[in-house]
């Protein structure tokens, strides 16, 4: 491990680290545009200049591997003056249209001008004009005049997705980013180019002009779109609710996790947040005379308990969901134990097979299948699985079915058989977030919070347990599944309801060996592997 000195501070860094990464470890920020840790070194922006002792010329830090005994200076007058010059060069042909640019507030030209520029403008010539508002694909739009030609976007398409849609055409100050003839930027990860574009050249067609970024709040979470469990940030807009037609979630952004998704997420996950604000079930409902009527939670819960007590354990089925958190699944297991219900399952076949690739996307479109398996949401001895429960409903052997989140009317099973079974149910309870085929048929509908509105953990397909956090309050009267289940268990005298999911997790870690030893604190930023995986035991 090379040991070097940066601005008078000594540090040891992993072999092969460049000077930007080495300095970062010391909390020293070397400004840069083209360097991105997930891409090859381009050395084009020339902003990351530093001085090395025994070297007459400033050097770019991105292409300089840290070596033993190096003495690096990042704050000399020469370095500061060079940065200022490079900032000026970056900006002479830039339109300086921040007031109408959607990147304003998170633009690295703005940030670095304030930190490293602050020169007086002296460019009086006509600027170079280039194409503006060019749609590159379904999600991304280009303003070539704002582009600083850092080539991050082209390198992303060449090196990460290997789809090569983008290139830099022409020469000199007429250089511009664009699509190769016949190409469209429609690969499954196209939105990432917006994240890595340091300026307002590539913006998100879905997000732009909805809300200024400084009105956004940020929360860490995990994408529920598939079993990869990519780490994300939820950017929500509650301060300017009149913008974006009241849509609270403004956008999702990838969050770095070296074990799961590095810096990236897929487009399906990125743009899959519409259901958080649209088509929601916002209050408990009871079916009377064929119509649903709004009821209070008090009424709904009373009814729920009444129904659960009215039937014998063999007449009740519980269909949990791999969309639920580990904590919630654990509470369902406890509910089944409390009631003595053996008819328990969590899986329903998808309507069509999910798409998968060798990068991030997984065919299993549920965030917590592995958690449900580890917690054991299977039928207890001689209990019924999901399909058998439906068949038993049809035969009127099962009387009461409580379904969480699944829309079994639109899954891989034959629709006619499913509808017949649901029709035969004496009591169909549905807990979910969005209006669907189940809300049309359930007798009791309990509105559930979405993943963005609650705390908890998901276990990804590899067995990594990761936290999701509450970015927003539950919409309307909806409640997190863990709260609903907690109330239910308390009413059934199975212990006091939990105050926080962390309490449930503690109990889970105690009760389920796979989770033994894990705590919220230890899960940290990047999550931790299930014990069985971490210890290499086969499943």
Q: Taking contact as CB under 6 A, which single stretch among the options 143-151, 232-240, 302-310, 391-399 is the one that binds ligand SF4?
A: 143-151
Q: Shortest approach of other proteins to residue 29 CB, angstroms?
A: 19
Residue 75 C-beta: closest distance to other proteins, Å: 18
Distances (CA, A) of 143 to 50, 288, 539: 31, 56, 51
List 122, 382, 521, 535, residue binding other proteins (CB under 8 A): 122
- Sheet bearing 3-6, strands edge to edge: 9-12, 3-6, 71-73, 49-52, 59-60
> Is 47 or 329 the residue whose CB approaches other proteins more closely?
47
Q: How far is the CB of 29 from ligand SF4 (least distance, A)?
A: 19
Please report the DSSP string for 307-345 in residue order. HHHHS-GGGEEEE--TTS-HHHHHHHHHHHHHHT---EE
Closest separation between CB of residue 148 and ligand SF4, Å?
A: 5
Residues 14-53 that bind other proteins (CB under 8 A): 41-47, 49
Q: Pick one of 173, 306, 337, 355: the residue that binds other proteins (CB under 8 A).
A: 173
Q: Of 39, 31, 132, nearest to 90 (Cα)?
A: 31
Give Cβ neighbours of residue 84 (< 8 Å, ≥ 6 apart).
116, 117, 118, 119
Q: Is 202 in the site for ligand SF4 (CB under 6 A)?
A: yes
Tell me if 92 contacts other proteins by CB under 8 A: yes
Q: Measured between alpha carbons, how far is 467 from 504 in angstroms, rounded to an integer?
A: 13
Chain-centroid distance, C-alpha 430: 26
- The item of ligand SF4, other proteins, none sharing an interface with residue 408, based on CB under 5 to 8 Å by kind, is none
> Nearest approach, Cβ of 141 to ligand SF4 (angstroms)?
11
Question: Is 147 an interacting residue with respect to ligand SF4 (CB under 6 A)?
Answer: yes
Stretch (H or E) spanning 458? strand 456-459
As measured in angstroms, the least distance from the Cβ of 149 to ligand SF4 is 5
Q: How far apart are CA 527 and CA 519, in angstroms?
A: 10
Cβ atoms of residues 490 and 302 within 8 Å: no
Q: Does 54 bind other proteins (CB under 8 A)?
A: no
- Alpha-carbon distance of 58 to 76, in angstroms, equals 10
For residue 305, count CB atoms less than 10 angstroms from its CB and return exposed for 0-12, middle for 13-18, buried for 19 or more: middle
Gap between the Cα atoms of 349 and 439, Å rounded: 19
Angle at 276 between CA 272 and CA 279, to 5 degrees: 105
Q: How far apart are CA 230 and CA 537, in angstroms?
A: 24
The distance of closest approach from Cβ of residue 167 to ligand SF4 in the complex, given in angstroms and rounded to an integer, is: 10
Q: Of the candidates 23, 50, 86, 320, which one interacts with other proteins according to CB under 8 A?
A: 86
Closer to ligand SF4 at the Cβ: 201 or 308? 201
H-only helix segments in 116-214? 152-155, 192-196
**Selected binder of ligand SF4 within 197, 250, 445, 465 (CB under 6 A):** 197
Tell which one of 150, 160, 332, 528 touches ligand SF4 (CB under 6 A): 150
Indicate the helix (H) or strand (E) that contains 468: strand 464-468
**Element housing 383 (H / E):** none
CA nearest 110: which of 102, 98, 122? 98
Regarding 533 and contact with ligand SF4 (CB under 6 A), the answer is: no
Residue 57 binds: one of ligand SF4, other proteins, none (C-beta under 5 to 8 A by kind) = other proteins
Q: What string marks each residue from 286 to 305 as x (binds other proteins by CB under 8 A) or -? A: --------------------
Task: Report what 152 binds from ligand SF4, other proteins, none; CB cut-off 5-8 Å by kind.
Answer: ligand SF4
State which of residues 54, 57, 242, 535 lies at the interface with other proteins (CB under 8 A): 57
Phi first, then psi, for residue 204 (nearest 5°) are -95, 120
Does 179 interact with ligand SF4 (rule: CB under 6 A)? Answer: no
Give the nearest distance from C-beta 68 to ligand SF4 in angstroms.
30
Which partner from the list other proteins, ligand SF4, none does 179 bind, CB cut-off 5 to 8 Å by kind? none
Nearer to other proteins, 20 or 425 (CB): 20
Q: Is 128 in the site for other proteins (CB under 8 A)?
A: yes
Rule CB under 6 A: is residue 149 a binding residue for ligand SF4? yes
Dihedral sign from CA coordinates of 323, 459, 347, 356: positive
Our CB check for other proteins shows the closer of 124 and 291 to be 124
- Based on the shown chain and the rule CB under 8 A, indicate whether residue 492 belongs to the binding site for other proteins: no
Question: Does 214 interact with other proteins (rule: CB under 8 A)?
Answer: no
Q: Is 171 in the site for other proteins (CB under 8 A)?
A: yes
Residue 271, helix vs strand vs coil: coil
Give the three-state DSSP class for 254.
strand
The binder of 153, among ligand SF4, other proteins, none, by C-beta within 5 to 8 A per type, is ligand SF4
Query: Please, are residues 410 and 437 in contact by the beta-carbon 8 Å criterion?
Result: yes
Residues that bind ligand SF4 (CB under 6 A): 147-153, 177, 196-199, 201-202
Q: Applying CB under 8 A, which residues contact other proteins?
A: 41-47, 49, 57-58, 63, 81-82, 85-86, 88-90, 92-93, 122-126, 128, 148-149, 167-168, 170-175
């Amino acid at each position: 491990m090379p040991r070097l000195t940066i601005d008078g501070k000594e540090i040891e860094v992993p072999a092969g680290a460049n000077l930007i990464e080495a300095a970062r470890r010391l909390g020293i920020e070397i400004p840069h545009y083209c360097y991105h840790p997930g891409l090859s070194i381009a050395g084009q922006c020339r902003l990351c200049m530093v001085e090395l002792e025994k070297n007459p010329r400033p050097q770019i830090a991105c292409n300089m591997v840290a070596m033993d005994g190096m003495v690096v200076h990042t704050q000399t007058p020469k370095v500061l003056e060079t940065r200022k010059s490079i900032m000026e060069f970056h900006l002479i042909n830039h339109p300086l249209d921040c007031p109408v640019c959607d990147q304003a507030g998170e633009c690295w030209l703005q940030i670095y001008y304030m930190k490293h520029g602050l020169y007086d403008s002296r460019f009086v010539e006509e600027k170079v004009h280039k194409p503006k508002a060019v749609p590159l694909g379904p999600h991304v739009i280009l303003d070539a005049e704002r582009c600083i030609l850092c080539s991050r976007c082209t390198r992303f398409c060449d090196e990460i997705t290997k789809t090569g849609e983008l290139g830099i055409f022409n020469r000199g100050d007429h250089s511009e980013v664009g699509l190769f003839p016949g190409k469209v930027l429609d690969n499954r990860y196209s939105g990432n180019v917006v994240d890595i574009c340091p300026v307002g050249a590539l913006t998100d067609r879905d997000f732009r002009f909805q809300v200024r970024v400084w009105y956004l709040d940020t929360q860490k979470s995990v994408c529920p779109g598939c079993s990869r469990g990519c780490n994300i940030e939820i950017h929500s807009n509650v301060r300017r609710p009149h913008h974006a037609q009241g849509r609270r979630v403004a956008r999702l952004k990838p969050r770095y996790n070296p074990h799961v998704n590095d810096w990236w997420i897929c487009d399906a996950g990125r743009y899959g947040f519409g259901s958080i604000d649209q088509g929601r079930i916002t209050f408990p409902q009871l079916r009377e005379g064929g119509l649903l009527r709004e009821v209070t939670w008090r009424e709904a819960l009373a009814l729920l308990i009444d129904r659960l007590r009215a039937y014998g354990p063999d007449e009740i089925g519980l269909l949990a969901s791999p969309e639920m958190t580990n904590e919630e699944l654990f509470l369902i297991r406890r509910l089944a134990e409390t009631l003595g219900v053996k008819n328990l399952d969590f899986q329903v076949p998808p309507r069509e097979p999910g798409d998968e690739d060798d990068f991030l996307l997984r065919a299993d479109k549920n965030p917590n299948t592995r958690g449900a398996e580890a917690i054991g949401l299977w039928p207890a001895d001689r209990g019924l699985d999901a399909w058998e429960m439906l068949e038993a409903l049809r035969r009127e052997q099962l009387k009461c079915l409580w379904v969480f989140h699944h829309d079994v009317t639109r899954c891989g099973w034959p629709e006619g058989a499913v509808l017949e079974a649901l029709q035969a149910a004496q009591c169909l309870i549905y807990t979910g977030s969005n209006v669907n085929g189940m809300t049309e048929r359930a007798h009791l509908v309990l509105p559930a919070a979405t993943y963005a509105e609650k705390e908890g953990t998901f276990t990804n397909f590899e067995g990594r347990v990761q936290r999701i956090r509450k970015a927003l309050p539950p919409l309307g009267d909806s409640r997190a599944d863990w709260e609903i289940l907690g109330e239910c268990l308390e009413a059934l005298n199975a212990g006091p309801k939990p105050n926080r999911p962390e309490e449930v997790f503690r109990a889970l870690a105690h009760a389920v060996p796979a989770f033994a030893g894990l705590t919220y604190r230890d899960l940290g930023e990047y999550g931790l592997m299930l014990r069985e995986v971490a210890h290499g035991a086969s499943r």
